[in-house]
A = this chain, B = another copy of it.
Amino acid sequence: MQMDKTAEGPLTPALVFETLQAHQRTAALKAAIDLDLFRAVGEGPGDVAFLARKCSASERGIRILCDFLTIHGLLVKENGSYRHSPTSAAFLDPRSPSCLASIAQFLANPALREPFDHLADVVRTGRTVLPGDGSVEPENPMWVQFAETMGPMMAPLAGPLGAVVLYGHNGPMRVLDIAAGHGLFGIEIAKQNPQARVTGLDWAPVLRVALDNARRAGVHDRYDMLPGSAFDVDFGGPYDAVLLTNFLHHFDKPTCVGLLRKVHRALKPGGRVATLEFVPNEDRISPPMPAAFSMTMLASTASGDAYTLSELTAMYREAGFDGISAHPIPQSPHTIVLGRS
C-alpha cells in the first residue's frame, strides 16, 4: 500500500484543486517550447524585458509564464530574473546535446491528446474513442512524428539496450528491428558491432527517418529496410536477434503472443528477442511513470496496456522463449526484457 500524499499535513482540498489545474502545467511547458523561451533563458541576463524581446512576446505574458515554470521546478528565479534549473539547462535548452523539447510535439499529437477530452467515454467503453485501432491504425502518420521527435528521449536507452542484446555475441550477425521508428536501437547495434547487419521494419514513411539517422551514424551500408506492418510482412531471416521496442504495449496479450511466435520462427536457435517497455511492478501502481503509462494505452488504443514482468514472461513462454531476464535501465522508467529462442 502506498502512502496517502496528504497524510502528513492537515487535510485540505489542495490536491484536488491542483489536479484539476494540472493541465495548465502541460500547456505552460508547451507554450514555453513553442516560444523558444528556454533558448532565450540560456542566452540572456534573464530579466523580463530581455526575455520578452527575444521571444517576441509581451512582458506580462513572459513574467507570468516564467513565474509559473519556476513554481513547477522548470526555471529558477533570483532577484527578479530567471535562469535555468538543472533540468531546463540539460533537457529544454536547444543548445544542450541532451535537449528533448521535441517530444512535446509528439505528446501533443491529437491522437494522444483528444481521447483525454472524452475520457469518461473511454472508461465506459474500455477503448480509445479514436477510430479503428487508434494510434496503431495502419499508416497512422503520428508514427512519422514519433520517429522525428522522440529520438532524443530514446537515444540514452540505445547504449544499454545494445549492450544487453550483444552481451557474449561477436562476429557477423543479423538483427531485425521491429517498429524501428527513429531507428536508433538498430543503429546502435550496428555501431557496437561492426559486423552486424540490421533490418529496420516499419511503415515506409517512418523508415525514411530511420535511414536518415543510419546515414548520420555512418552505418547505412549495413542498414536494410523492410517496409510494412509487423503483423503482415514476411520477416525473412533467420536472425541472431530481434528488437521489439515500445511496441507490445499497444496490443492485447493474444496479439502479443502471436507476434512473439512469429518472431520466434524468424530467429536462429538460441537467438534473442529484446523488448523495451514501461514495466510496472505487480501492484500496477509503482513506479509512478511506468505504471501511469497504462493510462496512455487506455486512451489511445483498443486493448493495449503497460504489462508487468509476470505478464511479459508468460507471453514470452507461451510463444516458445526461455532464459527470460529483465534489465531495468538505470535513471530511466524503461526495462529491457530478454528471451532466447
A31–B116 Cα gap in the complex (Å)?
Answer: 9
A125–B71 Cα gap in the complex (Å)?
Answer: 22
Residues of chain B lying within 8 A (CB to CB) of residue A123: 31, 35, 55, 57-58, 61-62, 64-65
Interface check A193, CB cutoff 8 A: no
* In the complex, per-residue mask of A13-44: 1 if CB is within 8 Å of any chain B CB, else 0: 11111111111111111110011000000000
Interface check A76, CB cutoff 8 A: yes
Interface check A87, CB cutoff 8 A: yes
Contact A2 B87 (CB under 8 A): no
Contact A29 B21 (CB under 8 A): no
Interface check A241, CB cutoff 8 A: no
Q: Quick one: which of B24, B76, B120, B291 contacts A1, CB cutoff 8 A? A: B76
Q: Taking the nearest CB of chain B, how far is it from the CB of A311, in angstroms?
A: 13
Nearest to A121 among chain B residues (CB) is B31
A61–B98 Cα gap in the complex (Å)?
Answer: 36
Q: Taking the nearest CB of chain B, how far is it from the CB of A112, in angstroms?
A: 9
Residues of chain B lying within 8 A (CB to CB) of residue A299: 24
Contact B18 A289 (CB under 8 A): yes
Contact A13 B291 (CB under 8 A): no
Q: Taking the nearest CB of chain B, how far is it from the CB of A141, in angstroms?
A: 20
Q: How many copies does the complex hold?
A: 2
Interface check A232, CB cutoff 8 A: no
Q: Quick one: which of B10, B16, B76, B332 contacts A29, CB cutoff 8 A? A: B16
Interface check A323, CB cutoff 8 A: no
Residues of chain B lying within 8 A (CB to CB) of residue A170: none
Q: Which of A100-108, A184-192, A269-277 binds B?
A: A100-108
Q: Which of A132-140, A209-217, A256-264, A280-288 binds B?
A: A280-288
Contact B23 A87 (CB under 8 A): no
* In the complex, per-residue mask of A110-136: 1 if CB is within 8 Å of any chain B CB, else 0: 000100110110111111000000000
Choose among A5, A73, A104 the residue with the greatest number of B CB atoms under 10 Å from its CB.
A73
Q: Taking the nearest CB of chain B, how far is it from the CB of A200, in angstroms?
A: 25
Q: Quick one: which of B61, B104, B288 contacts A126, CB cutoff 8 A? A: B61
Contact A11 B295 (CB under 8 A): no
A interface residue numbers (CB < 8 A to B): 1-2, 4-7, 10-31, 34-35, 55-65, 67-68, 70-74, 76-78, 85-87, 90-92, 98, 100, 103-104, 107-108, 113, 116-117, 119-120, 122-127, 153, 283-286, 288-289, 291-292, 294-299, 303, 305, 331-333
